[in-house]
Chain A
Amino acid sequence: MIITTTHYMLLSAALFTLGIIGVMTRRNVIIILMSIELMLNAVNINFIAFSHQLQNVVGQVFAVFVIVVAAAEAAVGLGIILAFYRNKETVNIDEMGLMRW
């Protein structure tokens, strides 16, 4: 029973799939953003598993940058949701056709 990088890859792929399912099936845009966070975490698990496998710290540095991007995404994304909610009183993504032309 040795845990290899493959195990971590499978876990990461499964978590990523969960994120996709969330994005595809839910209509609440906040939950969709949360599913995207799950997917980013799956990516980070991969980065760090490979950093461990290759004994190289670069994977961890990139995971730090992924976290930075996730923070920026959450700040702006949730700002957009709030602005939209204040105009239309909804967070259903099907009703967010404002920018669709």
Chain B
Amino acid sequence: MAEAVAFYICAALILGFGALVITAKSTVHSVLYLVADFLCVAALYVMLQAPFLAVIQVMVYAGGIVVLYLFVVMLVNLKRPPEAHSDPRRLGRLGVAMAAAVLVEFAAIFALGWAKPASAGGALSPNNVEQIGRALYTDYLIPFEVASVLLLVAMIGAIVLAKREL
């Protein structure tokens, strides 16, 4: 019961803040709602027994990625609003198609039945960090090293893009 209440509150907050992100007039307000959204997602992860993911969601997403967004929003000081001359119907057809696809997805989720809740006493131990570490550094060794190359490339790319201004 408590779990259901917590889930519905979390879900409402996530979707509410998500809607605010894409509708807010000021970009800075959008960024703020995005942070709130990510914090609520972190709360959801805690409920799903993924505390390590919850903290890195806060640390990397809320505390890193969105800080970068905020810095860029502040750097990009706009003389005129970017939405001034846009044609809302421009991508209308594509939007309808996308929405239809999502509706099909919803229908599929409903049609294919409701999954059972997780069985208690499964293999997911409460000591989540060790388990993730074991999987990450043995089975997923190659993706892990590739991730570092990806980060290296991202770092070099961003520096090259900004370098001319240094």
Contacts and interface: CB of A to CB of B under 8 A. Distances in A.
Direct contact of A and B (CB under 8 A): yes
Given A13-B106, A20-B98, A75 B68 contact: yes
Interface in B53-93: 53, 56-57, 60-61, 64-65, 68-69, 72-73, 75-76, 78-79, 82-88, 90-91
Interface of B: 1, 3-4, 7, 11, 14-15, 18-19, 21-22, 27, 30-31, 34, 37-38, 41, 44-45, 48-50, 52-53, 56-57, 60-61, 64-65, 68-69, 72-73, 75-76, 78-79, 82-88, 90-91, 94-95, 98-99, 102, 105-106, 109, 114-119, 122-124, 128, 131-132, 135-136, 139-140, 143, 147, 150-151, 153-155, 157-158, 161-162, 164-165
Interface of B is mostly: helix
Contacts of A65: 143, 147
Interface residues on A, range: 35 or more
Contact of A22 (B22, B72, B85): B22
